[in-house]
Every structure is written in structure tokens, then in C-alpha cells.
Amino acid sequence: MSHPSVFSSSRHLILGLVAAIAGILLSTLLSSPVQSQISLPLAGGETTIQNRTSRAYEQPAPNLDEYWFDRHAVGDRAFEAAFVTAPANVNPGLGPLFNGTSCAGCHIKNGRGMPEKGQRVVRVSQLVSETSTEASAATHGSPAPTSPALETELPGANTPPVVGIGLQVQEQGVYGYAPEAVVQVTWQERQGTYGDGTSYSLRSPQLQLSLPDGTPLSEGVVFSNRIPQPVFGVGLLEAVPESKILQLADPEDSDRNGVSGRTNRVWDIVQQTETLGRFGWKANTPTLLQQSASAYFNDMGVTNPLFPDADGNEDINREILEAAAAYVQTIAVPARTLLDDPQVQQGERLFAENCAVCHVAELHTGEHEVPALVNQTIHAYTDLLLHDMGRELADDRPDFQADGNEWRTPPLWGIGLAQTVLPYSGFLHDGRARTLEEAILWHGGEAEASKEAFRTMSAEDRAALIQFLRSL
């Protein structure tokens, strides 16, 4: 079996020069005598990089040592590697059912993806009342050619699989294999009005799933359309101590501010125990190694040490899997901009008043295997907790301890560059929001008061809040 090769020497040299120059500039800033007079835009602590271009999410952290820079370079190659059907000389192992062919094919330029075939992921589960094997088989027909379904149901996942599909729809198949289901998405528009009378429009996705022969799936199937999330800065989130996250949780809303926030407890495959979930739209994955392994297996059909096939075979070895995880652990975070802009400063004050209970501005990292991530002060604007976001965003699909109304607070760092990196990319879990304004207006549940505060703001204050988000 062939494995992704390391970078070419020329690309490796260029990346090394970029990282070295960025590190020198960052060190100069940190040691500058004017440091106390300005607020440095260190969104990712010493992993921050000054880059506001379409490649802002693709840079190595400037404080990596030589060993971890080399690991980043090798991992970059693994992240870019496109898999093909076996047998092949390079990157065999795709499928037989899959959604995408590479990590980079879904996480466009390390940012978010689009809600379309080849990038989106449609997660499914069976309602508990519909889990009879006989009833499900009769409703959904015979299983797809991969039997059993690709996904492994982890202990405590609380998501009954759909017979013949599993827990995730694979929309593509290699030659000779039909996809598990056909997904059709239409968009429904609805109108709304700000407090000052200005109108706006929101759209919501309407999904229809059917078997390849056109047979519709039963009403007992719950499905959730998900777009890929950005992968820069995630190593820092992995380095935030669990104790710090638990301090932010308030599951009983003891302070009576209408915001609870609770952790998701998920299954760690390596440790074989229940632990804190950090990653994914519902915080359903504990580590970046497991997140990478799950993506290889569920999104590409590529077996690996954490998710081998039924006979224990692996398409990629641990070295490649760990390289891919090391890559996302060591990506730089783009710096904030426009810090001295009065409008941005006004927006930041409004954000602190209305949004910062969930989108916590400052976190501190602890110990981590990557030295560059240790003891950093970061500004990710997340608490990594689950929050009830209301019925309009609900997918009714449980995921470990997360219920259908709950979503993890997504980090906001770098969000101002989202549509610079990928024009027309959407926001929220299914990409329904075309703008930052729409993303806020979809908030409900625990965030209903914050949404209403934004909706009833003056046009000047709304513009200031949005300009602050664009500065991130």
C-alpha cells in the first residue's frame, strides 16, 4: 500500500521561511516597548499570524519548533491527499461508499465547506419507536452493498442507526456501488423585520432523502444536514483543560441568566472510556486524533487503526493518521484587525453585553503534546459547551448526551475571513445563513434574548456589531 509522501523540498523550504519570518515578527511585537499601549491581536496566543488573505487559514503556527514544523509539513500532505479506489499505486482505499475523497476537499482551504454534495455530511438516525429490525428493513429495503454499514456505533452514542445506511449518508460510491441515498435540498425563504422596520429574509433547508431506486425513507428517520467546520486553531481548543470548560458549565442555570451550557460526554476509542466532547457541531468527539480517524472512515471509507474493517485491515497506518491530526493541531490562527476602529470598538462592547456568555472571549490552554500550544491565552469566542438553540435550529437528532435542540458554541475567531477564504460560504451547522446577520437572527432558545437585542438595535449598533465580527 502506498502512503502520502512528504512535501517536496521546495514547498517545505517556502513554508519554513514563512514560519520563520512570522515568528520573528511576532517576537518583535511581543518585545516591543509599545506593547503596553496597544491591544495586540493575538487571537491564538503565540500561534497567531498576521494574514488576512484567502490563505489565512492555511499557515503553520509561527512558534512551532523544527520537529513540529516537520510534523506539520508531513501532515499537510496527508490532509491534501486524495484517495482512489484500490488497487492503486498512490492512496488506495477509497470507499466503496464515501462523501469526499480528501480532507481538504471538504474543509476548503482549511475553512468551512458548502451545503452541497461532496462537502456536506448528512447524519441520520432512527427514531426509537422505529428501531425494529423487521420494520426498518421493510421500510428501507436491503442494505447497501457495504454490509454492515460503514459507521461504528460507539458506546453511549444514543443514535440508533438506520438499517442499510447507518448513521451517515454516503452520497457517492465507487464503480459498481450505488450511493446509500439520494439527498435533495431545496431552500425555503421567509421574511422578517428589524425593530426599526428594515426587512430581512431568512432561508431554511428542506431535505428529501430517498433510496437510489427512488423509494423515500420513512418518517421515522431523523436527518441533519451538516457543513464541514474550519480546522485552524483546533489544537488550542484541544489544549484547554477540562477543568476550565467545566467551570464555564451551568447546566441548572444557577445564576438565572437564561443560559445554561453543559458538556457532552462521549466515547474515547483510544482510552476506552467516557470523556469530555470538544469537537463537532454537537461536541461529539473528544480528540483531534479520533476526529481525524472518524473523518477518514465515515467520510471517505478509509479504514485506519481506530476504525479498521471487520477483519482488522487498515487502509492507512497510524503514522499517516497521526500526521493528519498533527497538521490540524498546528495551524496558525489569523489575527484580528481594525482594533483602533471606533465602530469595531463599539461593536465589541455590544458583543460583550449580549453575546459573550456563550461566546467566551478569553480562554487559557494548559498542557499539550505540542509545545507551541502550551500555556497560551487565546480569544476563540467559545465555551465549547452545548446550548439549547431553540426549535428552529433543532434537528431532533441526539448525539451522546446532546439532544436535538443543542449545539456546541462554535468558535468565532477568524469568522471575518470566512467569505474571503470561500466566497458564498454559509454559516451555522447547515450553511443556511448567508450572512452574519442571518446567523444571529436564527438564534433561539437560550440565545433568544441576544437575538432580540440584535433585532431591535438601531441600524448603527447592528452595523457596529457586524463590523466587530468581521474584524475577527
Residue 298 reports pLDDT greater than 60: yes
Q: Facing residues of 276 across strands?
A: 265
Q: Are 390 and 448 in contact (CB under 8 A)?
A: yes
pLDDT score, position 45 = 98
Torsion angle defined by CA atoms of residues 127, 129, 132 and 133, in that order, rounded to the nearest 10 degrees: -10
Which of 64-68, 218-222, 233-237, 382-386 comes out lowest in average pLDDT? 218-222
Residue 11 reports pLDDT greater than 80: no
Assigned domain for 311 exists: no
Residue 289 reports pLDDT greater than 90: yes
Q: What is the largest CA-CA distance in the chain?
A: 73
pLDDT score, position 149 = 37
- The x, y and z cell numbers of residue 60, run together, are 503553520
Residue 249 reports pLDDT greater than 80: yes
Domain count, the chain: 1
The neighbour count for residue 115, using CB atoms within 10 Å, is 24
Of 56, 58, 63, nearest to 30 (Cα)? 63
pLDDT score, position 7 = 39
pLDDT score, position 29 = 46
Cα–Cα distance for residue pair 98/296, rounded to 1 Å: 10
pLDDT score, position 366 = 99
pLDDT score, position 42 = 92
The neighbour count for residue 31, using CB atoms within 10 Å, is 8
- The x, y and z cell numbers of residue 369, run together, are 503534546
**Quick one: average pLDDT of 237-257?**
96
pLDDT score, position 34 = 35
Look up cell 470598538; give the residue. 345
SS3 for 237-259, per residue? HHCCCHHHHHHHCCCCCCCCCCC
Q: State the pairing for strand pair 48-49/333-334.
A: parallel
Q: Are 74 and 59 in contact (CB under 8 A)?
A: no
pLDDT score, position 164 = 85
Assigned domain for 194 exists: yes
Assigned domain for 148 exists: yes
pLDDT score, position 158 = 79
Which of the four pLDDT bands, split at 50, 70 and 90, describes residue 344?
very high
Which of 128-142, 215-229, 294-308 comes out lowest in average pLDDT? 128-142
Assigned domain for 296 exists: no
Of 198, 201, 258, nearest to 456 (Cα)? 198
pLDDT score, position 144 = 32
Q: Are 21 and 82 in contact (CB under 8 A)?
A: no
Q: What is the DSSP string of 6-63?
A: PPPHHHHHHHHHHHHHHHHHHHHHHH-TTGGGS----TTGGGEE---STTGGGPBPTT
Residue 270 reports pLDDT greater than 90: yes
Query: Mean pLDDT: which of 15-24, 40-49, 376-385 is highest?
Result: 376-385
Assigned domain for 219 exists: yes
Percent of the chain scored above 90 by pLDDT?
A: 78
pLDDT score, position 159 = 82
Residue 206 reports pLDDT greater than 70: yes
> What's the mean pLDDT when you consider all of the chain?
88
Strands (E) across 67-196 are located at: 97-98, 121-126, 168-169, 172-173, 182-193
Instruction: Specify the higher pLDDT residue, 154 or 94.
Output: 94
- The x, y and z cell numbers of residue 306, run together, are 481506530
Which of the four pLDDT bands, split at 50, 70 and 90, describes residue 14?
low
- The x, y and z cell numbers of residue 314, run together, are 487498515
Assigned domain for 387 exists: no
Assigned domain for 141 exists: yes
Cα–Cα distance for residue pair 408/358, rounded to 1 Å: 10
Assigned domain for 158 exists: yes
pLDDT tens digits, 411-446? 999 999 999 999 989 999 999 999 999 999 999 999
pLDDT score, position 163 = 86
pTM for the full predicted model: 0.88
Domain hosting residue 213, numbered range: 108-226
Cα–Cα distance for residue pair 7/289, rounded to 1 Å: 21
pLDDT score, position 134 = 36
- The x, y and z cell numbers of residue 41, run together, are 491581536
DSSP H helices, 88-227, are 103-106, 133-140
Look up cell 437564561; give the residue. 258
Which of the four pLDDT bands, split at 50, 70 and 90, describes residue 281?
very high
Cα–Cα distance for residue pair 396/389, rounded to 1 Å: 12
pLDDT score, position 160 = 86
Cα angle value 70/72/77 (rounded, 5°)? 100
Cα–Cα distance for residue pair 226/370, rounded to 1 Å: 30
